[in-house]
């Protein structure tokens, strides 16, 4: 799953998010998901089908000690979604894990208290990174607004594009904006003198 729009269309559904929340903990079969989540079995099956068709989860058959074999579902994807919405900025990013070489290493065994302490430390570090992310986004917004505050209306769209893609070459911006490179260079020089 590496198409942001398709992924967003799947996870926007609260029922699917509940199901995924359960499946990331352990594989489930539909009847158990229905009971534990308080969702009709029909709704569970419908949503499992959508997520499996899109490659977010996979199913397999598992023997049961109390009856016939049953179908169990588990995640088939890992990702991080980041969405920033600020004045002058709306950006969504899908971050996929780097591929790992070889089979995963056998997990170490931790005592419960040790595992809780380590996870707490990791969560604190993630919180620090998220606060730093927010701080950098605010700084980006401040810089953009300082450039845009006195911009003429006819240049605003071009300035937004130039600021949103600061590493793009003049040729790339020309193609993106459907403008002549000289016009873009002139705007950059004009705004550079102000």
Mean pLDDT of 51-80: 92
Angle 14-23/41-53 helices, nearest 10 degrees? Answer: 80
187 Cβ neighbours under 8 A, 6+ residues apart: 155, 158, 159, 162
Q: From residue 22, give the alpha-carbon distance in Å to each of 34, 36, 59, 123.
A: 11, 9, 14, 20
Start and end residues for every CATH 1.10.10.10 domain found in the chain = 4-75
Instruction: Let me know: does 189 contact 170? Beta carbons within 8 Å.
Output: no
- Give the CATH class of 150-193: mainly alpha
Q: Class for domain 4-75, per CATH?
A: mainly alpha
> Which positions ≥6 away from 152 have C-beta within 8 Å?
none
Q: How far apart are CA 169 and CA 180, in angstroms?
A: 13
Cα–Cα distance for residue pair 134/85, rounded to 1 Å: 11
Query: What is the per-residue pLDDT for 101?
Result: 60
Nearest Cα neighbor of 46 from 30, 23, 58 is 30
**pLDDT of res. 158:** 85
Percentage of the chain exceeding pLDDT 70: 93
Give the model confidence (pLDDT) of 27-65 as tens digits.
999 999 999 999 999 999 999 999 999 999 999 999 888
The predicted model gives 136-140 an average pLDDT of: 94
Q: Average pLDDT of 8-13?
A: 94
pLDDT tens column, 169-185: 888 988 888 888 888 88
Of 57, 53, 46, 52, the C-alpha closest to 21 is 57
Q: For residue 192, what pLDDT is reported? A: 65
Look up the pTM and report it: 0.77
Written as one string, the DSSP assignment of 120-188 is: HHHHHHHHHHHHHHHHHHHHHHHHHHHHHTT--HHHHHHHHHHHHSTT--HHHHHHHHT--HHHHHHHH
């Amino acid at each position: 799953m590496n198409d942001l729009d398709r992924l967003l269309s799947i996870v926007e559904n609260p029922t699917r998010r509940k199901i995924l929340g359960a499946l990331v903990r352990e594989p489930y079969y539909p009847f158990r998901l229905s009971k534990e989540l308080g969702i009709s079995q029909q709704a569970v099956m419908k949503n499992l089908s959508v997520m499996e068709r899109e490659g977010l989860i996979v199913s397999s058959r598992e023997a049961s000690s109390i009856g016939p074999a049953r179908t169990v579902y588990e995640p088939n994807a890992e990702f991080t979604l980041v969405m920033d919405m600020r004045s002058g900025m709306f950006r969504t990013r899908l971050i996929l894990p780097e591929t790992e070489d070889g089979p995963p290493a056998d997990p170490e065994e931790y005592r419960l208290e040790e595992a809780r302490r380590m996870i707490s430390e990791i969560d604190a570090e993630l919180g620090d990174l998220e606060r730093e992310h927010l701080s950098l986004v605010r700084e980006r917004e401040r810089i953009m607004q300082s450039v845009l505050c006195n911009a003429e209306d006819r240049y605003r769209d071009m300035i937004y594009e130039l600021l949103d893609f600061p590493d793009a070459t003049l040729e790339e911006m020309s193609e993106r904006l459907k403008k002549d490179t000289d016009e873009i260079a002139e705007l950059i020089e004009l705004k550079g003198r102000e």
